[in-house]
Amino acid sequence: MVNLTIDDKQVTAPKTATIYDAAKLNGIKIPILCHDKKLKPFGACRMCLVEVEQMKGRQIPACTTPVTEGMIIRTSTPDIVKARKMVLELLLLNHPIDCPVCDKAGDCDLQNLTYEYKVDANRFTDEKFHLEIDYTNPLIERDMNRCVLCGKCARICDEIVSFGALTFIDRGIETKIGCEFEEALNCEFCGSCVSVCPVGSLLARPFKFKARFWSLTKQKSVCGYCGTGCNLTLGVKDNKVLTTIYDENQGFHNGQLCVRGRFGYQFINSDKRLTKPLIRKNQNLVEVGWDEALEVVAGRLRDSGAASAALATARLTNEELLLFKQLMESVGSNNYDHSAGYAHAALTEGFAGSFGISASPSTILDIQKSDLLLVIKTDAYETHPVVGFEINMAVKNKGVQLKILSDKTGKLSKLPDAKTLVHTPGSEIAIINSLAKVIIDNKLGDASAVSLPGYADLEKSLADFTPEAVSAQCGLSADDIKLLASDYAKAEKALILFPVGQAYPGHTAALANAVANLALLAGKLGKEGSGVLCLSEKNNSQGAVDMGFHAAGGGLNAGQILDGCATGSIKTLLIAGENPLVSYPDHAKVKAALDKVEFLVVSEMFMTETAAMADVVLPVCSFAEKEGTFTATDRRVQHIKPAIKKIGQSRSDFEIFGSLIAKMGGVSSAAPAVVFAEIAASTPGYESMSYVSLGDEGLFASVDVKPVFVVPQTSAAKAESGKLALVTGSVLYHNGTLSQYGEGPMHVCPEGYVELSRADAAAMKFVENDLLTISSANGSMKLKARITPRMPQGVVFAPYHFGANPVNQVWNGAPVTWVTLAK
């Protein structure tokens, strides 16, 4: 810490702070346009000029000058105010004063400063810019006439998003922000640039002219897409969520969001939302009252008893999941599951076996504190983009080594010094085992690992996994495997990340076991910046696991439930928010099961493919309309409050399950807070939590790890000659099937596609956007071709989110599906 004087006030600040940081830390405001706390100092706007006595009273920029001991700083002498006024006058010389039609007005740094410094006239005259405005992009509108060249957009796109879509182009007075060769914006559309723009140069097009900033009610919430648990601020007006608002102080991610979080909110107030309960009468779904609908459902549940089953989406709150479970128990059935029954297996079976707890021992905060990150599948960036930003920052700012094991290259592979080992699809478990084998054989690991239970069995089971043997089946060289093992073992702190989800059937319990073994062998557990982190797919996937909403105690899992529906042993199926017809493997099988089941109840926001098959459809509300808690992938429990009133007659799942429990003769809790108290009392790690103690930031549920070695079950994928290996996955712009109802994601990625390598495309004479017939043993379907350099030859990729062309028509849940492509 250094001591200094700012405006006659004795203050202290860290040695690494700049004058601006030191002032901010001590509550002294220095005006600035080009600074964001996440970005490196830049010094573009010259608004933060201060005087330092030791520098002979010269005016220097506060944001780029480090503090030194004994500095005497003045932040607002008449000279400085005069200088700042002039800076503003010069900025306003070219900035069009079109505040009445600029959506930034009210939230505009330049406008606020102009007002604060009373710049109501300009001594200079010059012509305004007449640059072309980019209206064509559906998400980001660029009007460079308003730009003040602070460079924040270009810097955030480079430093955090690591995409580099925007940059300074041209020189001198003609300098402007644009894309390479002045082309159209074609990026990840995370909107980070929009969020940091101090003026109205970059604006969110979906929000264009919708409302003025000051008329919005700002409601804090938690994103309802992936498991990262990003915090959101929703901008609400007239019971409509109109936009998301950037708040640099929100969450571990400092307000940073991805395309889904920032532009995918439109499903909340979508016209397609269901507003009334529906019952099938004479083959048609007709609108009925809630009482009738719930009475019918309760009656069927009573009749079916143990022959009832439930599937829930991991987007429900913890409270709802607990009530749902209690409902099923009061019916007399323990058949309930979520996420297709396998997407949570890495936690519920894998980590439960290896660590004694169904949770990841590490958190997202460990990423930047690590020395080496081992990411399994580049898809980790696509499934959890904000975690991806953390990886970007770790690699670029902290010099963390990045090693990737993947069946294709991806965004993460492009990071500086990232080493991507592209293996044949489905061989990741064998490779991890092989890494463990190298560590054991070369004694690279932690000596104390030998004493852990199961070591001997593990050592024996790894006998077949020598790098040489594995390299033959995985397409990597033995040296690569050895080098990776030694790099991993030698790093002081190393963190393994892997995504799981419905589209990643290969990321099973065995992978979790293998990864856990590797971390244990190398002694990479229980230290800050080390460990393993399983990135679960949905916003409350970890919560669903914590609430025990999965097959246990003899209950059927999701696959078995659908089999039961097909054979007739399950008579009533309750589906809350899941869309198995699109997101579960094997379309034909799921359709047959849902056709066959006697009574299908679906509680949904939208008339999904699954809801359209239901006997009763109950309209439910979105995360923005209800109260509850979500548990993020690293067990951060966060409280959400309603931002708007419920749409139409929709009710929360909480109310529906409560009413049904009451109709079954049970006692239902009146409020989510009461149920959360129950959760806190009964769930390990949640002790002493309450809505009050969760606050805005949330709390981490503690993870008590009791490590043992578990031998991972492996089965080698058999390659079929002459066919291509189809791997399924998530695409950056989507999460599950919900994002189909968000306009933003659908603007960027409106339909399914099949991604293939240039070599394969050339060999089969396919060109971009060809409509290809993709056939597997399971069936065939048509998808547009997308040809990219990231796919290795012989491997094709298809995202699974789309109801219009669900990839489960050809995919039956195998990690690798062997397919043929034809035009």
Partner 1 sequence: MNPIKTFVPIIQGLKITLGHLFKKPVTLQYPDERPKVAARYRGLHALNVSHNKAKCVACYLCPTVCPAKCITVEAGEDANHDKYAAVYEIDMLRCIFCGYCVEACPVDAIRMTGEFELANYSRKDFVYSKERLLEKK
Residues that bind partner 1 (CB under 8 A): 99-101, 105, 133, 135, 208-212, 214-215
Q: Residue with structure tokens 């769930």?
A: 683
Of 266 and 583, nearer to partner 1 (C-beta) is: 266
* Separation of alpha carbons 24 and 31, rounded Å: 10
**Closest distance between partner 1 and the C-beta of residue 101, in Å?**
4
Of 29 and 208, nearer to partner 1 (C-beta) is: 208
* Token output for 469: 């043997």
Answer whether 264's CB lies under 8 Å from 739's CB: yes
Of 6 and 216, nearer to partner 1 (C-beta) is: 216
Of 238 and 704, nearer to partner 1 (C-beta) is: 238
Residues in CB range of 67: below 8 A, 6 or more apart? 2, 4, 13, 15, 17, 18, 19, 21, 22
Of 243 and 740, nearer to partner 1 (C-beta) is: 243
* Token output for 350: 């894998």
Contacts for 154-157 with beta carbons within 8 Å, 24 or more apart?
154/193, 155/39, 155/40, 155/42, 156/36, 156/38, 156/39, 156/192, 156/193, 156/195, 156/196, 157/187, 157/192, 157/193
Which residues sit opposite 774 in a β-bridge?
Answer: 781, 821
Strands 140-142 and 72-74 come out as unpaired
* Separation of alpha carbons 576 and 602, rounded Å: 6
Give the max Cα distance, the chain: 89
**Cα-based distances in Å from 395 to 193, 371, 411:** 21, 9, 13
* Separation of alpha carbons 90 and 78, rounded Å: 18
* Separation of alpha carbons 414 and 368, rounded Å: 18
**Closest distance between partner 1 and the C-beta of residue 235, in Å?**
14
Of 101 and 692, nearer to partner 1 (C-beta) is: 101
- Give 347's DSSP letter: I
**Closest distance between partner 1 and the C-beta of residue 175, in Å?**
24
Of 100 and 172, nearer to partner 1 (C-beta) is: 100
Of 203 and 432, nearer to partner 1 (C-beta) is: 203
Of 55 and 99, nearer to partner 1 (C-beta) is: 99
**Closest distance between partner 1 and the C-beta of residue 152, in Å?**
24
| Backbone dihedral angles phi then psi of residue 149, each to the nearest 5 degrees | 55, 40
**Closest distance between partner 1 and the C-beta of residue 196, in Å?**
23
**Cα-based distances in Å from 47 to 32, 37, 67, 117, 527:** 5, 16, 18, 11, 43
Of 207 and 818, nearer to partner 1 (C-beta) is: 207
Of 108 and 489, nearer to partner 1 (C-beta) is: 108
Of 135 and 168, nearer to partner 1 (C-beta) is: 135
**Closest distance between partner 1 and the C-beta of residue 350, in Å?**
51
**Closest distance between partner 1 and the C-beta of residue 99, in Å?**
8
**Closest distance between partner 1 and the C-beta of residue 214, in Å?**
7
Residue type, 266: Q
**Closest distance between partner 1 and the C-beta of residue 137, in Å?**
12
Of 1 and 133, nearer to partner 1 (C-beta) is: 133
Of 269 and 805, nearer to partner 1 (C-beta) is: 269
| Backbone dihedral angles phi then psi of residue 34, each to the nearest 5 degrees | -105, 20
Of 81 and 211, nearer to partner 1 (C-beta) is: 211
**Closest distance between partner 1 and the C-beta of residue 266, in Å?**
17
**Closest distance between partner 1 and the C-beta of residue 103, in Å?**
9
* Buried residues in 654-682 as b, exposed as e (16+ CB within 10 A): bbbbbbbbebbeeebbeebbebbeebbee
User: Mapping DSSP to helix (H, G, I), strand (E, B) and coil, where does residue 729 land?
Assistant: strand
Answer whether 488's CB lies under 8 Å from 372's CB: yes
User: Mapping DSSP to helix (H, G, I), strand (E, B) and coil, where does residue 786 land?
Assistant: strand
**Closest distance between partner 1 and the C-beta of residue 37, in Å?**
31
Answer whether 367's CB lies under 8 Å from 390's CB: yes
The candidate with the shortest Cα–Cα distance to 359, out of 631, 609, 572, 45, is 631
**Closest distance between partner 1 and the C-beta of residue 121, in Å?**
16
Residue 272: CA count within 13 A, CB half-sphere: 13
**Closest distance between partner 1 and the C-beta of residue 209, in Å?**
4
**DSSP of 249-317:** TSTTTTT---HHHHH-GGGTT-TT---S-EEEETTEEEE--HHHHHHHHHHHHHHHGGGEEEEE-TTS-
**Closest distance between partner 1 and the C-beta of residue 132, in Å?**
11
Of 66 and 106, nearer to partner 1 (C-beta) is: 106
Answer whether 803's CB lies under 8 Å from 608's CB: yes
**Closest distance between partner 1 and the C-beta of residue 356, in Å?**
58
